[in-house]
Homo-oligomer: A and B are copies of this chain.
């Protein structure tokens, strides 16, 4: 087949099929590089923050039920951005709401898209240190428990599948590369 360089796919026609509390679903008919048309199923998301929160060289993890997976997971604290919200402010808010902790030292550690094939969700990842417990105050529909795991305990949780989401695995790989590499 003829080789085409990647190039923008202008929208010819867009339909918004759902606008919910968190996501919006659109289907776009686009012009492909070879002149034909194609369909793109697109999920729009406000974006999110996630926090690698470290207390005495333990990582804070949130154990919660995930309806999309019909199972429990252990993840680093995270949550979606409110409209116009500054990502660092959102990270501080989510850490406090989900775990009850404030932190004295914050660093931006990276930004990544979770599922670029169909979704624009981007996650701002921060590290937080110098933690002090204030008061846990999760959202009304969040039911979760907080655990502080050592590096070895976190490693065990990766091995047995409790930790199984990309943002948490990436945060751990960046925290202790030698411990959380699966390729060496």
Contacts and interface: CB of A to CB of B under 8 A. Distances in A.
A161 to B, nearest CB: 8
Given A1-B137, A23-B118, A9 B40 contact: no
A9 B40 CA distance: 31
Contacts of A180: 173, 177
Contact of A73 (B30, B32, B78, B116): B116
Interface string A94-112: 0000000000000001111
A121 B115 contact: yes
B112 A114 contact: no
A45 B112 CA distance: 20
A41 B69 contact: no
Contacts of A44: 68
Interface in A143-159: 143-145
Given A39-B21, A127-B183, A173-B170, A67 B112 contact: no
Best-buried of A42, A174, A183 by chain B (most CB within 10 Å) = A183
Contacts of A109: 182-183
A63 interface: yes
B25 A141 contact: no
A7 B75 CA distance: 15
Contacts of A121: 115
Interface in A126-169: 127, 136-138, 140-141, 143-145, 164-167, 169
Nearest to A65: B6
Given A5-B145, A69-B116, A114-B114, 11 more contacts: A1-B138, A6-B143, A18-B18, A45-B118, A69-B120, A73-B116, A78-B117, A115-B115, A115-B165, A166-B166, A173-B173
30 contacts: A3-B136, A5-B145, A6-B64, A6-B65, A6-B72, A6-B145, A7-B65, A7-B143, A9-B67, A18-B25, A21-B41, A23-B43, A32-B141, A32-B143, A42-B67, A43-B43, A45-B118, A69-B116, A78-B117, A80-B117, A109-B182, A110-B169, A111-B164, A112-B169, A114-B115, A115-B121, A116-B164, A166-B167, A170-B173, A174-B181
